[in-house]
Structure 1
Amino acid sequence: MNNKFFPSNFLFIMIMFMGTMLSLSSSHWVTMWMGLELNLMGFLPLMNIKGKMLEAEASMKYFIIQSMSSSLLIMSTIIMYNMNLSWYSMFNNNMISNMILLSLILKLGGAPLHFWLPSIAKQMPWMILFLMLTWQKLAPLVMISLTNSNLSLILLMSILSTLIGSIMMLNQTNIQLIMAYSSISHLGWMLSMISINSTLSLIYFTNYVIISIPLIMILSMSVGNHLFMLTNMNKMNNLIIISLILSLAGLPPLLGFMSKLIILISLIKMKMIMLTMFLFLGTLISLFTYLNMSLMLMIKSYMTFEKNMNQYTYMPLISMNMLSSFIIYPLIILITKYAMTILYKP
């Protein structure tokens, strides 16, 4: 399957899409597990899209890890059924809910079970890496929001993911590895609110996807896989890519800052000060790497800029990223405020 426009690729994408939809639309643990397996069977052939040996190795690692987590998940649900005679979310036993949570964290690549994600990320094409860092996280995140009986373990995973993802970014020279560790760090922010207010985690996830789409597309078309290539002459608009990188870092007034601010305000209101401090510390550590990438793009002389690249495809997403302070964030606040007022009106 050397041709990336191979006709069966559409079939595999549809299988992957339907698997995730099956997991999201079900409240039955066995059906959710079936959706995850269907999603895996659709994603594995896409990982071998260019037919290279490194991609085959990465897809084999991914298959083994996902099979391990799926096996742990189905075993835990069978034990839960034997204890409760129900396939639905009835977590009377803390050990069972912990096993289900660990299997889903392994699927997501969250710390401390993140060891497989970086070794696979650096061997993938950019588009497949984007799918693995975004779409593949959607179903496990929703499933974690159903396991609400072990908040302390979820918050511990959140802190570890944010800190380990940020610290491991510091040493990297491969841009794909930086994006992988950045995804682990952002996953920590999503996990911090997943059991308390899953809507905020979904908003954060959506904003992360909106920032990642144009950033990964521009990087895949203009830059190689290594950090020093950012200083080479290329055809990308540097100001746009700098704004996307800083948005991923969470600097105001960009979209990434707005999504982090919503979570920070919610955690402070719930008096979770230590969790807020750890999340903030992880963001400060990762900011060093993002600012380093931005500086490498900024220190080039003006004569090396070539702004003739066609970026009109991503301009709506880029505009959304730039104007979030004045348009998106006020809209989110208004919608959540009035929705809560209407729904919880006595």
Structure 2
Amino acid sequence: MNNKFFPSNFLFIMLMFLGSMFSLSSSHWLTMWMGLELNLMGFLPLMNIKGKTLEAEASMKYFIIQSLSSSLLIIFSVMSYNISMSWYSMFSDNMFSNMILLSLILKLGGAPLHFWLPSITKQMPWMILFLMLTWQKLAPLMMISLTNSNLFLMLTISVISALTGSILMLNQTNTQLIMTYSSISHLGWMLSMITINNTLSLMYFINYTLISIPLISLMSTSLGNHLFILTQKNKINNLITISLILSLAGLPPLLGFMSKLIILISLIEMKMMMLSMLLFLGTLVSLYTYLNMSLMLMIKSYMTYENKKNKNIFMPLISMNILSSFIMYPLVIMIIKYAMTIL
């Protein structure tokens, strides 16, 4: 960050954090909307930390899209209120509820309303990109989990997001765009279960965040934002980065596989075979890009190997990612099965 204006940056980070907490802890839809606006006012100045022209353009695009989605949210909420005459039980299965859902999908950047997200994240600093792909999705996802909208519409959006994010990753050479489309694809997995079992979607979101924290930290230490840079001599530890990339792809026995397996098992138990197959197909398509990134890291890894004993603050997260199937997965399954008995 820009150390010269660090106090103001800290203020904006706290405003962004408190806005999301305001939405998450609220039981009234108007106050949830107010929390989203507070979060937007705190996040916009963080996008202009370095003061570059591209950052100003990206922040303006982000402001326009978020303002549009918030406007649609409050307009259709008021229309729905005129029907039900209640702010608490307003989300019934009607046209207004579906439009509210689409406004939240636009705010999240889910397909087919994802058109604004790649143009913003292309030249964004890695730390701000991490916040946009993880923290900024938390409050809208919670609001979607509370809606009583059309299940078919929600599942259609989840399938389109999973397939679109995976297909658009194929021809990308910019690592930031690859992470962006990967986030869209993972958002499809979260949306597939969010109206059925939002606990599993929250678990998937937490696992995605735990993988993204060390991965984005390691990617930010490379010399550039393009794939061929990964073949050059860089400061990142290749083997650890490859394990994190393959975990994001969902290969066993890593942490990303655990979260996808839990959702797949739940969908198959509910006889949603076609949805499971389409989500699995999206994962197979995106696996090509992840394996390509891993190959880029391995091409010169033997020639440029440096045995440096550098201290990594994310080693506990990396260890949990690698050993998840032996430690985390049985623990989570036990909690899911016996939670009602324990509580």
- Does 2:45 align with 1:53? no
> How far off its partner does 1:2 sit?
4.9
> How far off its partner does 1:223 sit?
3.9
Partners in 2 of 1:312 and 1:301 — Cα distance? 19
> How far off its partner does 1:156 sit?
0.3
Partners in 2 of 1:164 and 1:307 — Cα distance? 40
**SS in structure 2 at match of 1:89:** coil
- Does 2:80 align with 1:80? yes
Question: Is the Cα–Cα contact under 8 Å of residues 211 and 321 in structure 1 kept in the other structure?
Answer: yes
Question: Is the Cα–Cα contact under 8 Å of residues 258 and 324 in structure 1 kept in the other structure?
Answer: yes
- Does 2:148 align with 1:155? no
Partners in 1 of 2:92 and 2:304 — Cα distance? 63
Query: 1:333: which partner in 2?
Result: 333
Partners in 2 of 1:301 and 1:337 — Cα distance? 43
Partners in 2 of 1:241 and 1:155 — Cα distance? 32
Query: 2:125: which partner in 1?
Result: 125
Question: Is the Cα–Cα contact under 8 Å of residues 20 and 36 in structure 1 kept in the other structure?
Answer: yes
- Does 2:114 align with 1:100? no
> How far off its partner does 1:224 sit?
1.2
Q: Single out whichever of 166-175 and 89-98 deviates more from structure 2.
A: 89-98
Query: 1:212: which partner in 2?
Result: 212
Query: 1:142: which partner in 2?
Result: 142
After TM superposition, list the pairs within 5 Å mapping 1:216-255 onto structure 2.
Answer: 216-255=216-255
**SS in structure 2 at match of 1:304:** coil
Query: 1:262: which partner in 2?
Result: 262
AA of the residue aligned to 2:171: N
Question: Is the Cα–Cα contact under 8 Å of residues 89 and 147 in structure 1 kept in the other structure?
Answer: no
Question: Is the Cα–Cα contact under 8 Å of residues 154 and 191 in structure 1 kept in the other structure?
Answer: yes
Partners in 2 of 1:13 and 1:24 — Cα distance? 17
- Does 2:24 align with 1:24? yes
Question: Is the Cα–Cα contact under 8 Å of residues 22 and 31 in structure 2 kept in the other structure?
Answer: yes
Query: 1:68: which partner in 2?
Result: 68
Query: 1:110: which partner in 2?
Result: 110
Give a deviation string over 1:298-331, Cα, whole Å, max 9, x none.
Answer: 1215231124263420100000100101111111
**SS in structure 2 at match of 1:251:** coil
Query: 1:185: which partner in 2?
Result: 185
Give a deviation string over 1:46-74, Cα, whole Å, max 9, x none.
Answer: 00000000000000000000000000000
AA of the residue aligned to 2:7: P
Question: Is the Cα–Cα contact under 8 Å of residues 231 and 297 in structure 1 kept in the other structure?
Answer: yes
Q: CA 1:219–1:309 in 2, change beyond 3 Å: closer, same or farther?
A: farther
Query: 1:42: which partner in 2?
Result: 42
Query: 2:299: which partner in 1?
Result: 299
TM-score normalised by L of structure 2: 0.97
Q: CA 1:232–1:249 in 2, change beyond 3 Å: closer, same or farther?
A: same
Question: Is the Cα–Cα contact under 8 Å of residues 20 and 36 in structure 2 kept in the other structure?
Answer: yes
Q: Percentage identity across aligned positions?
A: 80
TM-score normalised by L of structure 1: 0.97
Question: Is the Cα–Cα contact under 8 Å of residues 237 and 309 in structure 1 kept in the other structure?
Answer: no
**SS in structure 2 at match of 1:204:** helix
AA of the residue aligned to 2:227: L
Partners in 2 of 1:133 and 1:171 — Cα distance? 21
Query: 2:201: which partner in 1?
Result: 201
CA RMSD of the aligned region, Å?
Answer: 1.3
Q: CA 1:127–1:307 in 2, change beyond 3 Å: closer, same or farther?
A: farther
Report the count of equivalent residues: 343
Listed as ranges, the gaps of 5+ residues in structure 2 are none
Query: 1:89: which partner in 2?
Result: 89
Q: CA 1:92–1:211 in 2, change beyond 3 Å: closer, same or farther?
A: closer
